[in-house]
Amino acid sequence: MLVSLKIDSEYDGFLFLAESVRNPPILVSHRHREVELNLVVNGEITYVLDGRSYTFGRGSLLWFFPSQEHQIMHRTPDAQYYVGVFTPDMIQRACRSATYADLGKQDVGDVGILHSILTPARFDLMERMMAAIMEGSMDADLLNREAGFGVDSSFRYQHHDPDALNAGLRHLLLLAWRYQQDAEARADSLKLHGSVRQALALISENPDSESLSELAKQCSISEAYLSRMFRQQVGIPLSQYKNNIRLGRFWECYGDGHSINMTEAMLEAGFGSYAQFYKVFRAQYGRGPRQLLRSRSEV
């Protein structure tokens, strides 16, 4: 699915620190016109691309190109990772020599998720650079809720100093690409079992319509085998994955809370009761829904 990241013309991209405890788990397979860069600073994150799963830990620098449809599948509760995106126009202006020619391509060949593991010194420099670029940006809670897959259709990324942001993004892109070219590491990947891929596709179509027994039947395997394979390959139980999708739908329904209340959004997202919603919500964010929503309304 091709998505719009809603970047206004005065910006060459954006950068924010995604955190599991703030960022809604909107699990959608997607791609976009912009080149995307992630730097994992804590915990682990797992992506799926072309039927293979990749898990990255602290110090991993990873890239997604416009043709690569990718989906985040799982994040550890302590996961923190910078997400930077760079517009095609900026890349065309900034990348004029052969050194950076690949950054202007739709993809870079059959490499899966291009990535490298930074040395401690390079990781420290990249992290400090990203933190500096973020100075003057929007509130962290707001960015985690809205940047990329914003639940508010009117959201637009803003920075108090667009010129400084754009200069920082350009420097960040070129430096990260030089580090990538120095590296030989490629992510270890796991080819997803056919039944897991089929279950993911069925859940994506409608997470509420298929029980475990129905999914197993359609995948032509036993419930126990599907449950075991899913947890082993995706990293979380199938039930948790479906609940994460429901959480994402809750945020989409709830938006800024002006047009629908929490209970209505919870039910529309597919939760059967407030008790179920509360348990899933608190496990994801470490706080109950009313407490977290109250704190966000004060931003």
Burial track 4-21 (b if 16+ CB lie within 10 A, e otherwise):
ebbbeeebbbbbbbbbbe
Supply the pLDDT for residue 118. Answer: 93
- pLDDT tens per residue, range 245-298: 888 788 778 866 677 888 998 898 888 899 999 998 888 777 788 877 776 555
More reliable by pLDDT, 61 or 71: 61
Tell which CATH architecture fits domain 195-231. Orthogonal Bundle (1.10)
Question: Residue 188 corresponds to which amino acid?
Answer: D
13-189 homologous superfamily: Regulatory protein AraC (2.60.120.280)
Strands 35-42 and 189-191: unpaired
Residue 187 has pLDDT above 60, yes or no: no
